[in-house]
Amino acid sequence: MRHPHPIVFALFVATSLVFSSVGTAQPPNIVWIIPDDMSAHFGCYGETAIETPNVDALAASGVQFDNAFVTAPVCSTCRSAFITGMYQTSIGAHHHRSGRGTVKIKLPDDVAMVPKLFQDAGYHTSISGWPINGKLGKTDYNFEWDKSIYDSADWSDRKPGRPFFAQIQTQGGKLRGKDAKGWNNVAAKARKRFGSATSIESVTLPPYYPNHPDIVRDWAAYLDSVRLTDAMVGEVIAKLEEQGVRENTLVLFMTDHGISHGRGKQFLYDEGLHVPLILSGPGIEPGTIRDDLVEHIDIAALSLAAAGIPIPETMQAKDVLSDDYQAREAAFAARDRCDETVDHIRSVRTKQFKYIRNFLPNRPYLQPCAYKDAKSILIALRQWHDEGKLDANQELIFRQTRPAEELYDLESDPHELQNLANDPAHAAELQSLRNRLDHWMETTGDQGRQPESAEQFESDMEVYLNTLRERATPEHLQTVESNIELMKRWASEGK
């Protein structure tokens, strides 16, 4: 039996008494719903091609954040950040799927995982997929951790009267797969659930993607994955209501990063960083819309605070719901190695401007990456690039080198197509954001300032290759092996 820390337990008891004094039997339950690979394509965020009644209703019953951004555009680094309330670069978890081999990554002594803090405060903790099937849900943390921080895979397993912290991790955008097989599968699910699939005629692509038939079909399938995710949100809410706990439950809806696409997942453009964030529950004014900048790690601090659990002094997340909260002036993000593909990018975003620094400017935008290159949408992009069918905006990601710096005016150029870094009229803004990013990297202890060690890379690549040897085709395995050797060669050449 686990025993909470005496001080934390005393705070839990005190919090319970406070809630009891205002007519609430116990501290609020906390539920996180976090789908994979999905941007803010919901009706409440302006999407018109599909209907998303459940997420829209959740937003109407609480607060919707219009400017929420992840600090990492890929799942394991993002998840390592929000589960600790720390920038992944500060805790050494910035490389995707790292620390899985012989070379381990350990959290700093003063960093605690959010489920452990809830557990120590007397909460039942769970993590699952949906529908709940008795198995723990997706974690994907890039450091060593103890599975005992989760009591079970279902909040219903708790003892009567015990508050719960539940994470629900779902496939989200991954439901559409990577090719026609996946598109057909998600369309069939949509027809069965809603009576129809999203039509290709309803698809409007961002201007940096061409209307290639495969890209349009993929986007339609993606929108069906959004519809299915919305239905799943409705099922979670219904279960909470059936159990009579909805009124005392803070429900948080957020995705782990943006859509997996050419300029989305793995990149620091808004398509990869901008996510929905909606909160609904006790104490939150319905119909609230906030446009201040928040970072996805903030869900750690606001959840602890809502439960009356002290926020660790070293935690970088902020309680964006507190009365004395001071809004962030900027949101930061980092992209490092993803699978076998080595990269090093940092960004800072204010309301109006985005500044991106490419530390490896001599590498192409679309470096070889077996995971992304196997997707039909990337194959389609490359096909039309080779055939000369892309316009200037669609060709941007095919540049063989990158500018060391990128600067975008997001008010006039929301798709981040016109780089203003060399525009004398924006020299002052460029210098200001350059300094702001330098300060952030320095004060937060950005561990990506030093290249990943050869030992860490080799250790993680061996785990990755062993996984592929069990389930990948020989061709895919060979591609990854070739890419690994290319990364080593480019590094030795200083590229």
The predicted structure's pLDDT at residue 374: 97
| pLDDT digits 0-9 by tens, 55-66 | 999 999 999 999
Q: Are the beta carbons of 266 and 49 closer than 8 angstroms? A: no
Per-residue tokens: 385 = 């690039």
| pLDDT digits 0-9 by tens, 63-81 | 999 999 999 999 999 999 9
The predicted structure's pLDDT at residue 92: 98
Residue 22, pLDDT > 80, answer: no
Alpha-carbon span 182 to 175, nearest angstrom = 7
According to DSSP, the β-strands at 124-128 and 164-170 are parallel
Alpha-carbon span 344 to 96, nearest angstrom = 12
Walk me through the domains of the chain, giving residue ranges and CATH numbers.
6-324 (3.40.720.10), 334-492 (no CATH)
Number of Cβ within a 10 Å radius of residue 427: 13
Closest listed residue to residue 205, CA positions, set 267, 261, 257: 261
For range 352-377, the mean pLDDT: 98
Number of Cβ within a 10 Å radius of residue 400: 9
CA distances from 119 to 4, 29, 159, 184, 485 (A): 7, 12, 13, 42, 44
CA distances from 262 to 31, 78, 270, 380 (A): 32, 19, 12, 11
Residue 148, pLDDT > 60, answer: yes
Segment holding 170, helix H or strand E: strand 164-170
Residue 1, pLDDT > 50, answer: no
Residue 90, pLDDT > 50, answer: yes
Single pTM value for the model: 0.95
Q: How many CA atoms lie within 13 A of 378 on its CB side?
A: 20
Q: Are the beta carbons of 192 and 227 closer than 8 angstroms? A: no
Confidence of residue 13 (pLDDT cuts 50, 70, 90): very low
The predicted structure's pLDDT at residue 26: 84
| pLDDT digits 0-9 by tens, 368-401 | 999 999 999 999 999 999 999 999 999 999 999 9
Beta bridge partners of 295: 69
Residue 16, pLDDT > 50, answer: no
Residue 10, pLDDT > 90, answer: no
| pLDDT digits 0-9 by tens, 411-437 | 999 999 999 999 999 999 999 999 999
Q: Are the beta carbons of 129 and 169 closer than 8 angstroms? A: yes
Per-residue tokens: 342 = 């080595």
The predicted structure's pLDDT at residue 454: 97
Q: Which residue has the higher pLDDT, 385 or 17?
A: 385
Alpha-carbon span 158 to 30, nearest angstrom = 14
Mean pLDDT over the full length of the chain: 95
Residue 18, pLDDT > 70, answer: no
Per-residue tokens: 403 = 């500018």
| pLDDT digits 0-9 by tens, 258-313 | 999 999 999 999 999 999 999 999 999 999 999 999 999 999 999 999 999 999 99
Closest listed residue to residue 491, CA positions, set 401, 389, 360: 360
- The three-point CA angle 120-122-127 to 5° equals 80
Q: Are the beta carbons of 307 and 123 closer than 8 angstroms? A: yes
Alpha-carbon span 87 to 442, nearest angstrom = 13
The predicted structure's pLDDT at residue 25: 54
Q: What percent of the chain has pLDDT over 90?
A: 95
CA distances from 431 to 405, 421, 425, 438 (A): 11, 10, 12, 10
The predicted structure's pLDDT at residue 21: 32
Closest listed residue to residue 255, CA positions, set 432, 20, 78, 443: 78
Alpha-carbon span 263 to 73, nearest angstrom = 11
For range 16-42, the mean pLDDT: 76
| pLDDT digits 0-9 by tens, 234-249 | 999 999 999 999 999 9
Residue 467, pLDDT > 50, answer: yes
Residue 140, pLDDT > 50, answer: yes
Crossing angle for the helix pair 213-242 and 53-60, nearest 10 degrees?
50
Q: Are the beta carbons of 230 and 345 closer than 8 angstroms? A: no
Alpha-carbon span 133 to 155, nearest angstrom = 12
For range 33-59, the mean pLDDT: 98
Q: Are the beta carbons of 490 and 451 closer than 8 angstroms? A: no
Alpha-carbon span 354 to 434, nearest angstrom = 11
Residue 17, pLDDT > 70, answer: no
Q: What percent of the chain has pLDDT over 70?
A: 95
Q: Are the beta carbons of 415 and 207 closer than 8 angstroms? A: yes
Q: Are the beta carbons of 221 and 183 closer than 8 angstroms? A: yes
Sheet order of strands, 345-349 included: 331-335, 345-349, 353-358, 405-409
For range 102-121, the mean pLDDT: 98
For range 403-409, the mean pLDDT: 98
| pLDDT digits 0-9 by tens, 316-329 | 999 999 999 999 99
CA distances from 481 to 281, 367, 400, 476 (A): 49, 14, 22, 9
Q: Which residues of 43-59 are buried (b: 16+ CB within 10 A; e: fewer)?
A: bbbebebbebebbbbbb
For range 453-457, the mean pLDDT: 98
